[in-house]
Amino acid sequence: MSEYLEAFKQLRGDAVKINEQLGKELNIQSDQIPISVFNMIHNDLVIGIELFSSYMKLWKNAKIKPGISDERIEQIKDENGQRIKQVQKIIFVSSMSSFEYVAKEYHKIHPTKLGGITRRNGRIYLRNILEKSAEIDLIEEEQHKLWNGLLNFRNMIVHNNAISDITETYEYSNCTLVLVEEEMTQGNLLLFPNLLDWMIDAIRDWIFNINQYKPLA
């Protein structure tokens, strides 16, 4: 428990630091689009840290009742681990949604930056924004592929109980995400903090690059 609690604390610190750094570089307030995304992610991480801390305190003070079997103890540990994964899923999905919201709002404010974006059912989604970003070289091809991995994973969690409808492997800098068709995606308890770590850095890069980008007249 302490390992991924510390991982989330590190991510929380990173979100604050990047918000401050970009605020200075772009000369905007911390609550302004697009860097406000890091405030949103920070809040999600704080919720996770508070819940994990409560679990740690609860487990530390828990007393095993006489006569409880080793099998039951392992079952309780597994159930607690599943609850932690569920909290992490919520934080991951919420963080992705925060970036999607901010990216769409940024496009409304600066429509000429990305120009025409392919719409689906009359709406713009994060996938469309990232496709256009790759087209104009705001993100590299490999990074675009990894973003698609996060988008696919998020959609699986939201719409299909984390069961994949594709088979694909995504190699991130700090972890590997393996999706297998018709199977629930598995991973240790550090999978989500590792994916969030990559995501936070990738969001920072996208914000910096799109602010530097000057469309051709």
* Number of structural domains in the chain: 1
- Alpha-carbon distance of 172 to 35, in angstroms, equals 23
Residue with tokens 């740690």: 56
Stretch 20-40: mean pLDDT: 97
In a domain, 35, yes or no: yes
pLDDT in tens, 62-109: 666 777 787 877 787 778 778 888 899 999 999 999 999 999 999 999
Q: How far is CA 71 from the centre of its chain?
A: 35
Amino acid at 3: E
- Alpha-carbon distance of 1 to 33, in angstroms, equals 34
In a domain, 217, yes or no: no
Asked if pLDDT for residue 185 goes beyond 90, the answer is no
Angle of helix 191-212 versus helix 70-109 axis, rounded to 10: 10
Question: Could you tell me the pTM of the whole model?
Answer: 0.92
Stretch 33-57: mean pLDDT: 93
Residue 201's pLDDT is 98
In a domain, 40, yes or no: yes
Angle of helix 2-26 versus helix 191-212 axis, rounded to 10: 10
Q: Are 187 and 177 in contact (CB under 8 A)?
A: yes
Residue 84's pLDDT is 84
Asked if pLDDT for residue 152 goes beyond 90, the answer is yes
Q: Are 10 and 36 in contact (CB under 8 A)?
A: no
- The residue segments making up the domain with residue 92 are 2-212
In a domain, 158, yes or no: yes
In a domain, 41, yes or no: yes
In a domain, 171, yes or no: yes
In a domain, 106, yes or no: yes
Residue 71's pLDDT is 83
Q: Are 196 and 95 in contact (CB under 8 A)?
A: yes
